[in-house]
Amino acid sequence: MDAPENIAPLIETDAVIVGAGPVGLFQVFELGLLEVKAHVIDSLPYPGGQCIELYPDKPIYDIPAVPVCTGRELTDNLLKQIEPFGATFHLGQEVSEVQRRDDGRFHVATSKGTRFITKTVFIAAGVGAFQPRQLKVDGLEKYLERQVFYRVKNPAQFAGQNLVIVGGGDSALDWTLNFAQDGPHRAESVILIHRRDGFRAAPASVARMRELCDAMQMQFVVGQITGIEEADERLTGVKVTGHDGVTRVVPLDALLVFFGLSPKLGPIAHWGLALEHKQIVVDTEKFETSVPGIFAVGDINTYPGKKKLILSGFHEAALAAFGAAPYIFPDKRIHLQYTTTSPKLHKVLGVETPSFDD
């Protein structure tokens, strides 16, 4: 029987890395030096993990030999460093299943239906998959992705609509400005709702939002969404309770909620790995979990003396790569080589071997 068309092809590989935070990215490097090509999966639509999601512009001072760099610079440099190894990224999808197969390899599947058969798995999942924080109001779930959205994938779909946007951070303000100002995605109307008259977003965006309110191009309402209005299987409005205790109905075509992201261990808890306080127990020789062939590196793992620092994760990634090599190359002896002097490593890095004769 033919496979249904909507089933994604099966990817066979040596290594799957769950998480594209700094440690998952460096895992690509350490595997690359051993000539192992990796597939990297992250639930976020971009790499960088906490460094990008939580502190892109904050300076980090404790990366060895880098006196200072921001979260974004660290991520950009890691991406540059792993370029030679041609890892394949599968972003915007959560790894939902990891199961051992009869042949000793692992079946890995994501929320988007991407499927892998892999010899090894590296869990670099940090504090878990970042998920949008939900607006908890009865009856809202059934309109998800129809009229209620936690991410804007296609801004054009909201042009000309009556939009209610909720939140007080940069995402809420950026999308508010995008839809309320003249431009290709201008909405029919935009109402921003936030629980208080103070914002976490960039001051310039807040000032611009207030200008648009003064020019009557949009409205800002202080209050909390406490209920919904429905008609004919459609969401027609939200009930907003203000500080004065009065509840008003705000009509809408679409509701965009930006409450930030919160990490969730999620499906990892069901992969049969030994856990301690929601962290994966590993040894400190190979950073292997209780399931041979599955390794855990970075913030997600635990062992005596563990410190959740980027530099610890980098060390763990190096040892995990060596620990995994026998599963990938059972007949090969792996030797430690220096990137400075090894012609073989220069070849995998795509750089010239310097001459030391001079």
Residue from 254, 310, 318, 320 in contact with ligand FAD (CB under 6 A): 310
Give φ, ψ of 32 to 5 degrees: -60, -40
Based on DSSP, count helices (H) and strands (E) in the chain, helices before strands.
Answer: 7, 22
CA neighbor of 257 nearest in space, from 184, 149, 176: 149
Angle (CA) 236 238 240, round 5°: 155
* Span from 20-28, 99-107, 220-228, 274-282 in contact with ligand FAD (CB under 6 A): 20-28
Is the torsion defined by CA of 292, 90, 93, 52 positive or negative? positive
* Span from 198-206, 229-237, 304-312, 342-350 in contact with ligand FAD (CB under 6 A): 304-312
Residue by residue, DSSP assigns 117-170 as EEEEEEE--TTSEEEEPPP--TT-GGGBTTTEESS-S-GGGGTTSEEEEE-SSH
Residue from 20, 87, 180, 320 in contact with ligand FAD (CB under 6 A): 20
* Span from 31-39, 40-48, 165-173, 176-184 in contact with ligand FAD (CB under 6 A): 40-48
User: What gap in Å lies between CA 198 and CA 232, rounded to an integer?
Assistant: 36
Q: Is 279 in the site for ligand FAD (CB under 6 A)?
A: no
Q: Is 87 in the site for ligand FAD (CB under 6 A)?
A: no
Residue from 239, 308, 315, 346 in contact with ligand FAD (CB under 6 A): 308
Residues whose CB is less than 8 angstroms from the CB of residue 42 and which lie 6 or more positions away in sequence, other chains included: 19, 20, 21, 24, 49, 89, 90, 91, 92, 93
Q: Is 126 in the site for ligand FAD (CB under 6 A)?
A: yes
Crossing angle of helices 203-214 and 170-180, rounded to 10°: 40
Q: Is 92 in the site for ligand FAD (CB under 6 A)?
A: no
Residue from 14, 36, 85, 94 in contact with ligand FAD (CB under 6 A): 94
* Span from 128-136, 223-231, 235-243, 333-341 in contact with ligand FAD (CB under 6 A): 128-136
Residue nearest to ligand FAD (CB): 126
The side-by-side arrangement of strands in the sheet containing 247-251 is: 224-231, 234-241, 247-251
* Number of residues this chain uses to bind ligand FAD (CB under 6 A): 37
For the CB of residue 273, give the shortest distance to ligand FAD in the complex, in Å. Answer: 12
Q: Is 201 in the site for ligand FAD (CB under 6 A)?
A: no
Which is closer to ligand FAD, CB of 56 or CB of 227? 56
Q: Is 129 in the site for ligand FAD (CB under 6 A)?
A: yes
Which is closer to ligand FAD, CB of 47 or CB of 293? 47
